[in-house]
Amino acid sequence: MFELLKTDSQTRARPGMKFKLILCLALVLSSGFLGCSTISPATKTEVLDYANDNSPDTEEVEVTDLGNCFSIRLAADSWPALVRKTKPRFAWSGCDLMWIETNQQGELQFTLDEAYVYQPTNQPLQWVLLDEKTNVPYKDGNRVDPRNFDSCLNLRAVAPLRDDIPRVQNDGGERGNYAVTTGTNPRHGSVYQIGWQREMGASPAHPEYERRIYLFQDRLNDWHFLGEGPEQGEERGAENAVQSQVEWIEAAKHEPPLKIKFHVETRISPREWDYSADDTNYPPDEYKTNNYVLAGPFPAKFQELK
């Protein structure tokens, strides 16, 4: 499925204590429903007709056996029904969901989840959100059973707002989930980059890549989904390094008035497939660079700059 880029509140009125208690109870229940200890403001849901070349399709998120590693947190009989139940801020590519929240300290964070299409034998089709079990024996958790279905896909994640993109956490290139501000204009607003770590691939190359999702918050604090950019990560024998830059366009005919440019460097190393061989038997590492842009009208797919 995955390949290197080829180029890589409170209320205003106070009618009575009873109403206030009902409102507080509703907020608490909605927080628990989403599986985190946050209180989210009531916002509209935007269901976007958006996907890029790296987005999962329906066949890729189909699963008939959850094995021993996963449990179903929530289920619905269709994608629209799942969206109505969960009330995300954004839903896109027919399986991806995002909530924009603040934690108990008032800090901004982004919760993401990916729906799977689940149909056990002789059972009706369901769209489900999954939780990964933490008490599974190693032999079951080590991708021996049908859990391979999540290879290179995504699971629920919380991306806290940070000052900088986190450093790589392991030799597989994993950074975890995060959000950072990548550009701010006092007249228009701010651009956010959300890094959503994919599950490690089950192939011999063990690909570990990070989706990068871009949002814009305008001066009225409304949120806009811009799109997804090139992915950063690595696998055995290759890696992508991505740099991005926001440019503001004062005379733009679209909103938000900006574009995001990307510089992608891809390294290909044939020698990494055979640790026992003499390095002299292999050609040197090959490097390729490509440039892309994410430009309006939004949401948009990133395009290669020729």
Task: Convert the pLDDT of each residue in 37-74 to its tens digit.
Answer: 343 444 699 999 998 877 776 666 788 888 777 889 99
Task: Convert the pLDDT of each residue in 221-240 to its tens digit.
Answer: 999 999 999 988 776 677 88
| Mean pLDDT of the region 164-172 | 71
Q: What is the pTM of this model?
A: 0.78
> pLDDT over 90 for what percent of the chain?
46
Which two three-digit tokens encode residue 87? 């009330």
| pLDDT score recorded for residue 2 | 31
| pLDDT score recorded for residue 187 | 93
Write phi, then psi, for 190 (nearest 5 degrees): -130, 150
| pLDDT score recorded for residue 136 | 56
What stretches of 49-120 show up as alpha helix (H) in DSSP?
79-86
| pLDDT score recorded for residue 224 | 97
CA 160 to CA 163: how far, in whole Å? Answer: 10
Task: Convert the pLDDT of each residue in 191-213 to its tens digit.
Answer: 999 999 887 655 555 667 889 99
| pLDDT score recorded for residue 272 | 57
Task: Pick the more confident residue, 276 or 263.
Answer: 263
Q: Binning pLDDT at 50, 70 and 90, where does residue 151 land? A: low
CA 92 to CA 114: how far, in whole Å? Answer: 10
Q: Do strands 116-118 and 62-63 pair parallel, antiparallel, or not at all (unpaired)? A: parallel
Q: Binning pLDDT at 50, 70 and 90, where does residue 289 land? A: very high
